[in-house]
């Protein structure tokens, strides 16, 4: 017998969510003392289907994976023992009892007494004891699951009798962001990645997945970018930052990510006070003690073996050859120096700003002289090797370190090289491609056939992004890893074309990168309000934008070779060619309609 639960309307779900915010919990995270954290709350969810299986068990499908537990509401006369099985995976119509890697399965026996009862598996010592990020004790044990199989239930099991209590950031607004395009697969990829960011807010801290539930700097930075593109708040990012100040992790490049996180916070919020409180501590993340006379970071054999990460897992490094002067490590160092220079200017620390600028100038000259191969037009992996990997070139391109006249060559080489890196480096690889005239290739990477793309994740049926492209690349991977959700920020930032250009969103930049798409539209949340974008490319380019009150934007629109200029609301406006763009001379505000003719 099958019972199909009716889908609640968006309005009803929103009302339920607001009601359940009365369950808001003061989350105390970490070990060695409590720490303030973004609030999380339970949302109760009915299964989308309840199916009676041939063996008499009931199979509940909640539609998507979420972190939570199960609230059972048996009849008052119900008694006896039941078995509840939670799972992220299915096999042959049943919850998979032996899933691969760190994919979750758990089994609990419950004695019914006619009373409502919360059912959860036992705590996993690896992800619930120090140094793991702990969840509120009042919530009970949380586990990621989509399916529940119940054996021993007497009588029929209705959808109201078993509800998932799913933990999410209580400030999350499902309607804050949207994306739609002429490519249905791209839309499915955005939906997967957008939901992945929501689902992984369950702990109030950006964690790396369920296997460890640890905060890592690189994971946190990519989560931050996608969270900003999905929800306008910044509390969870800041709480994650505070935790990482106390409990840093081991990879060399992860240290520099703390500067990236602080810079992104400044651009998102424009909050000088928060920045000022953390500025001096950020200096410790530049690895100054490892910098040699030439301005480049040096690595000892031990640091090479246990710190310099380049990419993860190890098999994704494209044959990278490690040397004492590592190109990827130094690309991060140079980018961190540039961001610290900008932050010093914000805080009027003029001496620091001059120092960072000089250090960056000296290190960049050494970087180019010692690590760029003029014959191939590519960066080598490090001093002492002629090998040029994907990673040694994608990071310099993404960080703007490649000389302007060399960028096209490096970008085209990366396209030819293909997706030889992990889901982690894909964030930076695609940023570099979008920024250097390879928008179509960037979108093609997302939707490529084979097992190294987000299309592969979508077609697998997963509802949260994975830690790696596929199980065969990381056999112990999580199926709930938000660092695999880069399109949640890449599609709004590049396809819709919306990015912050002045701190606190005082000014935005709108520069759509259409690739071979015919249209795209969506909403991008900001602390100042929502930006709405819709554009068409068939054959001329038209864009409509709605900006929040008080916000202005600089606009660049794709310029075909035979186009003559830009019209705003039907009238020609001053604009100039800027490589492949028409750049408007004046900022835009409010509601505008622009057309390239």
**Cβ-based neighbours of 297, under 8 Å, separated by 6 or more:** 252, 287, 290, 291, 325, 326, 329, 330, 333
Handedness of CA 364, 367, 369, 375 (dihedral sign): negative
The predicted pLDDT at position 232 comes to: 87
Over the stretch 384-408, which tens digit does the pLDDT of each residue have?
Answer: 999 999 999 999 999 999 999 999 9
- Does 178-495 carry CATH code 3.40.50.150? no
Please classify residue 355 by burial: count the beta carbons closer than 10 Å to its beta carbon, then call 0-12 exposed, 13-18 middle and 19+ buried.
middle
User: And the tokens for 73?
Assistant: 């509401």
Beta strands at 507-510 and 552-558: parallel, antiparallel or unpaired: parallel
CA distance 541 to 237: 36
Largest Cα–Cα distance of the chain, in whole Å? 81
The ranges of the chain with pLDDT < 70 are 1-38
Nearest alpha-carbon partner for 522 in 190, 106, 52, 110: 190
If you compute the radius of gyration of the chain from its CA atoms, what whole number of angstroms results?
25
293: how many CB neighbours lie within 10 A of its CB?
8
Nearest alpha-carbon partner for 455 in 463, 447, 444, 464: 447
**Cβ-based neighbours of 19, under 8 Å, separated by 6 or more:** none
* Site of tokens 């209590």: 165
The predicted pLDDT at position 301 comes to: 98
Q: What is 2-169's CATH number, 2.60.40.420, 3.40.630.30, 2.60.120.260, 3.40.50.20?
A: 2.60.120.260
For the CA atoms of 256, 254, 264, 411, the dihedral, rounded to the nearest 10 degrees, stands at 90
> Contacts by 151-157 with C-beta closer than 8 Å and gap 24+?
151/55, 151/56, 151/57, 151/82, 151/83, 151/85, 152/80, 152/81, 152/82, 152/83, 153/57, 153/58, 153/82, 154/78, 154/80, 155/75, 156/1, 156/3, 157/3, 157/50, 157/52, 157/58, 157/60
Handedness of CA 171, 174, 175, 180 (dihedral sign): positive
Q: If you write DSSP's letter for every residue of 450-463 in order, what string do you get?
A: SSSSHHHHHHHT-S
Residue 382 pairs in a beta bridge with: 326
Contact 344, 307 (CB under 8 A): no
CA distance 331 to 320: 15
The predicted pLDDT at position 38 comes to: 52
CA distance 326 to 79: 65
Over the stretch 507-524, which tens digit does the pLDDT of each residue have?
Answer: 999 999 999 999 999 999
The predicted pLDDT at position 538 comes to: 83
Contact 200, 66 (CB under 8 A): no
**Cβ-based neighbours of 353, under 8 Å, separated by 6 or more:** 341, 344, 345
Residue 107 pairs in a beta bridge with: 85
588: how many CB neighbours lie within 10 A of its CB?
19
Residues of the chain with CATH 2.60.420.10: 500-596
Residue 591 pairs in a beta bridge with: 546
CA distance 31 to 237: 19
Contact 554, 587 (CB under 8 A): yes
Nearest alpha-carbon partner for 550 in 569, 571, 531, 534: 531
Residues of the chain with CATH 2.60.120.260: 2-169
Contact 215, 207 (CB under 8 A): yes
User: And the tokens for 49?
Assistant: 């289907």
Contact 254, 221 (CB under 8 A): no
CA distance 106 to 506: 49
Contact 183, 447 (CB under 8 A): yes
Residues of the chain with CATH 1.50.10.10: 178-495
Contact 515, 541 (CB under 8 A): no
CA distance 42 to 40: 7
Q: What is the pTM of this model?
A: 0.93
The predicted pLDDT at position 509 comes to: 98
Cα 274 to chain center, whole Å?
Answer: 23
Q: If you write DSSP's letter for every residue of 348-382 in order, what string do you get?
A: T-HHHHHHHHHHHHHHHHHHHHHHEETTTTEE-SB
CA distance 533 to 579: 23
Q: At what angle do helices 327-346 and 252-269 cross, to 10 degrees?
A: 30
Question: Quick one: fold of 500-596?
Answer: Maltose phosphorylase, domain 3 (2.60.420)
């Amino acid at each position: 017998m099958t019972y199909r639960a009716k889908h609640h309307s968006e309005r009803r779900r929103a009302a339920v969510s607001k009601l359940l915010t009365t369950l808001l919990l003061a989350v105390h995270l970490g070990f060695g003392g409590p720490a303030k954290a973004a609030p999380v709350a339970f949302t109760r969810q009915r299964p989308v289907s309840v199916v009676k299986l041939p063996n008499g068990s009931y199979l509940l499908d909640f539609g998507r994976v979420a972190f939570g537990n199960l609230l059972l509401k048996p009849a008052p006369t119900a008694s006896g023992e039941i078995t509840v099985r939670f799972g992220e995976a299915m096999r042959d119509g049943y919850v998979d009892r032996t899933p691969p890697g760190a994919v979750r399965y758990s089994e609990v026996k419950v004695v019914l007494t006619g009373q409502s009862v919360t059912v959860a598996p036992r705590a996993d010592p690896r992800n619930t004891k120090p140094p793991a990020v702990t969840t509120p004790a009042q919530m009970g044990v949380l586990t990621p699951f989509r399916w529940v199989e119940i054996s021993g239930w007497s009588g029929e099991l209705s959808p109201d009798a078993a509800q998932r209590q799913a933990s999410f950031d209580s400030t999350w607004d499902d309607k804050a962001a949207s994306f739609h395009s002429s490519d249905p697969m791209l839309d499915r990829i955005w939906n997967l990645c957008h939901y992945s960011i929501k689902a992984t807010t369950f702990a109030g801290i950006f964690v790396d997945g369920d296997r460890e539930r640890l905060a890592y700097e690189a994971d946190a930075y990519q989560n931050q970018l996608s969270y900003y593109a999905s929800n306008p708040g910044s509390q969870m990012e800041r709480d994650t930052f505070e935790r990482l100040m106390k409990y840093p992790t081991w990879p060399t490049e992860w240290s520099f990510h703390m500067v990236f996180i602080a810079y992104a916070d400044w651009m998102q919020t424009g909050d000088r006070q928060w920045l000022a409180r953390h500025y001096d501590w950020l200096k410790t993340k530049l690895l100054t003690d490892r910098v040699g006379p030439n301005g480049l970071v040096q690595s000892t054999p031990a640091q090479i073996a246990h710190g310099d990460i380049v990419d993860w897992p190890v098999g994704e490094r494209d044959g990278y050859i490690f040397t004492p002067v590592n190109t990827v490590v130094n690309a991060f160092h140079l980018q961190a120096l540039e961001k610290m220079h900008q932050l010093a200017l914000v805080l009027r620390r003029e001496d620091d700003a001059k120092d960072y600028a000089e250090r960056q100038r000296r290190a960049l000259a050494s970087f180019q002289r010692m690590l760029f191969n003029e014959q191939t037009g590519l960066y080598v992996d490090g001093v002492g090797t002629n090998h040029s990997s994907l990673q040694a070139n994608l990071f310099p391109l993404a960080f703007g370190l490649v000389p302007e006249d060399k960028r096209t060559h490096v970008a085209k080489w990366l396209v030819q090289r293909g997706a030889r890196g992990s889901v982690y480096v894909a964030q930076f690889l695609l940023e570099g491609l979008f920024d250097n005239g390879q928008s179509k290739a960037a979108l093609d990477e997302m939707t490529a056939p084979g097992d190294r793309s987000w299309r592969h994740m979508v077609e697998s049926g997963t509802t949260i992004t994975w830690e790696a492209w596929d199980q065969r690349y990381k056999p112990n991977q999580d199926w709930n890893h938000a660092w695999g959700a880069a399109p949640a920020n890449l599609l709004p930032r590049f396809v819709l074309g919306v990015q912050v250009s002045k701190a606190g969103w005082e000014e935005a930049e709108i520069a759509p990168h259409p690739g071979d798409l015919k249209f795209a539209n969506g909403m991008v949340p900001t602390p100042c309000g929502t930006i709405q974008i819709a554009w068409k490319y068939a054959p001329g380019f038209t864009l409509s934008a709605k900006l929040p009150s008080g916000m202005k934007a600089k606009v660049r629109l794709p310029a075909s070779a035979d186009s003559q200029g830009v019209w705003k609301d039907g009238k020609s406006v001053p604009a100039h060619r800027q490589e492949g763009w028409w750049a408007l001379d004046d900022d835009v505000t409010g509601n505008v309609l622009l057309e390239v003719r």
